[in-house]
Amino acid sequence: MYDANLIPLSCCALAQNPHQSIAIYKAEVIDKTRFNSDVKKLSGALASLDADCFALYSEQAYLFTVYLYALLHSGKKVWIPGNNKSATINKLTEQGCLLLGEWQGKEITVKQNQTELIELKALDKQTELIIFTSGSSGQPKAISKTLQQLQLEIETLEAKWGESLGQSSVLATVSHQHIYGLLFRVLWPLAAGRCFYSDMYLSPEPLLKLAKDNKAYWVASPAQLKRLDDLTAWQDLKQLKAIFSSGGALSFDAASLIHQHCQHKVIEVYGSSETGGIAWRQQIEDSLWMPFDGIKITVDERQKAYLSSPYLTEQLPYSLDDKIKLYDAGGFALLGRVDRIVKIEEKRLSLDELEQYLTSSDWVQQAHCLLLTAKRDKIATVLILTESGRDYLQQQGRSELIKQLRKQLMQAFETVVLPRKWLIMQSLPLTTQGKVNTEQLMQLFALDNIRFPQVQACYQQEQSTVLQLYVSSNLVYFSGHFPQQPVLPGVTQLAWVEAFAKILFDIEKPFLRMEVIKFKKIIIPDTLINMKLNWKVSTGKLYFEIYSVENAHSSGRMVYGEQA
């Protein structure tokens, strides 16, 4: 139910409750009088400018809030992008936006000294902001949100958790440039009369020091919560009023660890920039998501989900990107994405757009990107090079090629979403249906890096493949074999041959024997080798050669088939 004590977002900058604390900025408590004055000064200066469209970016939440309300009260259109990178700057300026805040020196300077203060009046509830689905992909989607839509969300949040939070302050390790941080660390506390810390903390340690002697709650992400460990100041964490998490699903192990050490049941919120909040859960109690009041989800026979929400302007059901299973008790489970949008450290990334950006390079003919899920999710990328790309690879080497591609990607993507594993191939492996053989690629990328060499390149033909492999000194086989000069055991080479062959070829028959095995030259740590595999289906024989630029190391064949 709506809390009458909430200040409407349309009135938050007005001169009401003059002594109410708004924010802590540079160790100073900012009250409503100072906030109102700062907004007035900037509003007057902005109103005198002819431009009507502004892109806003500031890492300080208080400055962001002043800029935001000053733009709204001066009648300007506000665009809130997810980052201030070069590619984002170019796209926004192409759209005719002036840059306000922190934009790598390209922002406008607003002179406030000689402008008249304007009297602030309540904003129209249909006043719009433009936010973006993500600053992590090359083509972030612009979404219009009215103050009324955001107000409805805040009313829901306050009705759900306002009483338990009381007058606690807000500490955050997420950015307000995205919808979750915008709502939870700026607009909701502003409307509810809670004080927010202007700084965004990159790690929990400084945040917990502040929480130690203050009533506060933490607006976090799953990536930050899953990094908590035995060295965390759990007693300080215990003092928090609540821990919120959004941007992706928190693992049960992380939620359990937090509950075990400090009794907090993390409140997870599920939603998106397009939809707003959809549901919440505390998975220590129940793994199912519970929809917020007014939210309705329907699912068709293909597990395609549709949303009806008071936060959406269109009345038609909204098609969700997640597969959902509904349960009788009213909750639901998430079963994965239906498109190629993934999340890395809660940053949303379009794999399609990452591939498109890579292929815009003169060196890349084709790219295919995959999400590898392990203890830490990461992106893996397969590259098919152009002729000029192959020339650059031959002249400068693989490391320099990847370094330059990463540098190009950093113009449009945040560092955390950049590919962490790379594989160069002659062509993409295909299934019998003509689709990319994702399973094979996943197997190559998922090999244990302490038991297998790093696959750097893979050149495939129908029944023959050459792998370029880096034999790291970190491999377990070098420990104690031998103390004076570590050497890769011959039996390990044979095990690698069979393992790679079973990934690359359709070998179903059992192993029978080895023939003409020769070990010609030892392989020492930190060596780049080539492994050539040739599979003869008709005879069931696998021929192999392992060699480097200077030496032939080993060769032979393995025979597969039924025992006579």
Contact 243, 269 (CB under 8 A): no
**What is the structure's pLDDT at 304?**
84
Comparing CA positions, the residue from 382, 387, 356, 357 lying closest to residue 369 is: 382
Strand order of the β-sheet with 128-132 is 98-101, 53-57, 77-80, 128-132, 142-146
- Tokens 């090629």, residue located: 401
φ and ψ at 559, to 5 degrees?
-110, 130
For residue 519, what pLDDT band results from cuts at 50, 70 and 90? very high
How far is Cα 392 from Cα 402, in angstroms, rounded to an integer? 11
pLDDT per residue as tens digits for the range 48-104: 899 999 999 999 999 999 999 999 999 999 999 988 888 889 999 999 999 999 998
- Tell me the domains of the chain and their CATH numbers: 1-147 (3.40.50.12780), 201-339 (3.40.50.12780), 340-426 (3.30.300.30), 447-564 (3.10.129.10)
Q: Using one digit for the tens of pLDDT, what is the confidence trace for 355-408?
A: 999 999 999 999 999 999 877 889 999 999 999 999 999 999 999 999 999 999
Q: pLDDT tens digits, residue range 195-233?
A: 999 999 877 888 888 877 779 999 998 888 888 888 888
Name, of 191-205, 299-313, 530-544, the range with top average pLDDT: 530-544
Residue 193 confidence (pLDDT) above 90: yes
Query: Do 327 and 315 form a contact (C-beta atoms < 8 A)?
Result: no
Q: What is the pLDDT of residues 115-163, one digit of tens each?
A: 677 889 999 999 999 998 754 433 678 999 999 999 999 999 999 999 9
Is the pLDDT at 522 greater than 60? The verdict is: yes
pLDDT of residue 431: 65
Where is 278: in which H helix or E strand?
Answer: strand 276-281
* Averaged pLDDT score across all residues of the chain: 90
CB environment 114-147: b (16+ within 10 A), e (fewer): ebeebebeebeeebebbbbbbbbbbebeebebbb
Cα separation, 221 vs 159, in Å, equals 22
Predicted local confidence at residue 115, as pLDDT: 66
pLDDT at 455 over 70: yes
Structure tokens at 268: 């997870």
CA atoms of 324 and 327, how far apart (whole Å):
10
CB 172 within 8 A of CB 196: yes
d(CA 511, CA 495): 12
User: Count of residues for the chain?
Assistant: 564
**pLDDT mean over 295-305:** 88
